[in-house]
Amino acid sequence: MELPAIVPVFAVPGALLLPGGRLPLTVFEPRYLALTDHCLGAGRLLALVQPTAAGDGPAPGLYSVGCLARIVAFGETGDGRYLITCQGLSRFRITAEAEGRSGYRRVMADYGPFVTDMAGEADPVFDRRRLISAVSACLAQNGLASDMAKLEASSDRELVTTLAMAAPLSPEEKQALLEAPTITDRASMMTAIFEMAVLAEAGVTIRH
- Whether residue 208 is contained in a domain is answered as no
Residues 6+ apart with CB under 8 A from 197: 138, 141
Residues 110, 170, single domain; the answer is: no
Residues 75, 165, single domain; the answer is: no
- Whether residue 1 is contained in a domain is answered as no
pLDDT for residue 42: 87
Residues 6+ apart with CB under 8 A from 182: 116, 121, 122, 124
Residue 170 φ/ψ, nearest 5 degrees: -75, 160
In angstroms, the CA 8 to CA 35 distance is 7
The last residue of one of the domains, among 64, 99, 119, is 119
Residues 132, 102, single domain; the answer is: no
What total number of domains does the chain contain?
2
Instruction: Provide mean pLDDT across the span 19-24.
Output: 94
Residues 28, 95, single domain; the answer is: yes
Neighbours of 25 (CB within 10 A): 20
Show the beta-strand stretches assigned E in 102-181. 104-110
Residues 133, 115, single domain; the answer is: no
The last residue of one of the domains, among 84, 119, 154, is 119
The more confident residue out of 78 and 94 is 94
- Whether residue 96 is contained in a domain is answered as yes
CA-based torsion, 159, 161, 163, 166: positive or negative = negative
Residues 82, 179, single domain; the answer is: no
Whether pLDDT at 117 is above 90: yes
- Whether residue 207 is contained in a domain is answered as no
Please, which pLDDT band fits residue 202 given cuts at 50, 70 and 90?
A: low
- Whether residue 167 is contained in a domain is answered as yes
- 123 secondary structure, DSSP code: P
Alpha helix ranges (H) inside 10-147:
30-40, 116-119, 128-141
Residues 49, 150, single domain; the answer is: no
Please, which pLDDT band fits residue 204 given cuts at 50, 70 and 90?
A: low
By residue range, what is the domain housing residue 150? Answer: 128-201
In angstroms, the CA 109 to CA 19 distance is 15
Residues 16, 115, single domain; the answer is: yes
The last residue of one of the domains, among 88, 119, 150, is 119
Condensed to tens digits (0 to 9), the pLDDT of residues 62-78 reads: 999 999 999 999 999 98
Q: Hey, is 22 helix, strand or coil? A: strand
Residues 115, 188, single domain; the answer is: no
Residues 85, 109, single domain; the answer is: yes
* pLDDT, the chain, mean: 90
Residues 16, 77, single domain; the answer is: yes
Whether pLDDT at 2 is above 90: no
Residues 18, 102, single domain; the answer is: yes
